[in-house]
Amino acid sequence: MQPPLSADQRQSARYPAPEGALLRVSSSTHQATAFLVDIGLEGAAFEYILLDERPKQGDHIDILADPEEMSIDAVPFRIVFDFEVEPEEPEPVIWRRCGIQFTGLSADQTRRLETLLRHWGLDLPVPTAATGPAAQTQKPTPLDEAIFLARLKLLSIAAKAYLKGYPCGAYRQRAIVRNALDILNQAPLQKVFDAEEACAPPLKAHVLALARAFVQMPPASSDLASLDYSADVVGRHLRGGKALTQMAFLKVA
């Protein structure tokens, strides 16, 4: 695999992606969600957990954005590099970083990409109390269900990894916190919980328990055993065992 392009080899600048930004890698047989690391007009880099398949030539990506109408679907690419990220200490999962160059973007995709980069660069929300009363009065827009479920799956995986005692670097900690904040804000707006089966406590309670704990690192809870149980419950539901069976989660798994 070719090494990463240096700054002077690229024809356009790369910009750090907002923490917690996601994309989906898709082929005719497989879909996987990943964290977007950086992006420009000609390419991007992302980190993903190796579960079964690695990205390959001929796949495409969907750049997931909030609001959902700013998402960009079916972006073709070629792989520039794909390597395993070496952790400072052992981790329970294998993380890889993949760099891609966009190929054959349509005029509409190019326009949407320019709009998204401008949106992220000029209107990036800062998830902190320092945003003040004006920001708190803004009514959030519900995320697309597929994006919400993708974020929920990443929170469940990150929670299990942390609770098993495996460390994570500063970038991933910030991504976990941002992701938890988004889930905490979005959970009341999501209809995905409407079909949940009767259980005690309900699935939504476990989701909120995880999100409230991981809005800071280390988690804002001393009851780690309960968090571990909540992560297990959420993971089982996301795998289609109970309430989310009808929610087509496999589209983003």
Alpha carbon distance, N-terminus to C-terminus of the chain: 26
- Residue 44 β-bridge partners: 39, 100
Does the residue 193 lie in any domain?
yes
Which residue from 175, 240, 232 is spatially nearest to 207, judged by alpha carbons? Answer: 232
Query: Where does the pLDDT of residue 251 fall: very low under 50, low under 70, confident under 90, or very high at 90 and above?
Result: very low
Q: What does the pLDDT look like over 172-216, one tens digit per residue?
A: 777 788 788 778 778 878 777 765 544 445 788 888 888 888 877
- Do both 96 and 147 map to the same domain? no
Question: Does residue 41 sit within a domain?
Answer: yes
Give tens-digit pLDDT for 156-168. 888 888 888 877 7
Same domain, 27 and 110: yes
Nearest to 160 by CA among 220, 214, 197: 214
How many domains does the chain divide into? Answer: 2
Query: CB within 8 A of 128, min separation 6: which ones?
Result: none
Q: Is residue 1 part of a domain?
A: no
The per-residue pLDDT for 100 is 94
**Whole-number Å distance between alpha carbons of 115 and 207:** 32
Q: Reply yes or no on whether the pLDDT at 5 is more than 50.
A: no
Q: What is the pLDDT of residue 104?
A: 87
Domain that holds residue 104: 7-122
Supply the pLDDT for residue 25: 92
Inform me whether the pLDDT recorded for 243 exceeds 70.
Answer: no
For 105-134, write each residue's pLDDT tens digit. 999 999 899 888 888 764 433 333 333 333
Name the residue among 45, 47, 19 with its Cα closest to residue 33. 47
**Of 252, 239, 180, nearest in space to 214 by CA:** 180
pLDDT at 140: 55
Same domain for 90 and 180, yes or no, is no
134 versus 3: which is more confidently predicted?
Answer: 3
Tell me whether residue 111 is in a domain. Answer: yes
> Measured between alpha carbons, how far is 211 from 227 in angstroms, rounded to an integer?
10
Q: Maximum Cα–Cα distance for the chain, whole Å?
A: 57
Q: What is the pLDDT of residue 214?
A: 85
26 and 51 co-located in one domain: yes
Residues 193 and 229 in one domain: yes
The band of 12, judged by pLDDT with boundaries at 50, 70 and 90, is low
Of the three residues 122, 146, 170, the one that is the final residue of a domain is 122
Residue 2 lies in a domain: no
Residues 103 and 189 in one domain: no
pLDDT digits (tens, 9 = 90+) for 33-55: 899 988 988 999 999 888 778 88
Shared domain check, 147 and 214:
yes
Q: Check whether residue 147 and residue 239 sit in a common domain.
A: yes
Q: Which of 75, 91, 122 is the last residue of a domain?
A: 122
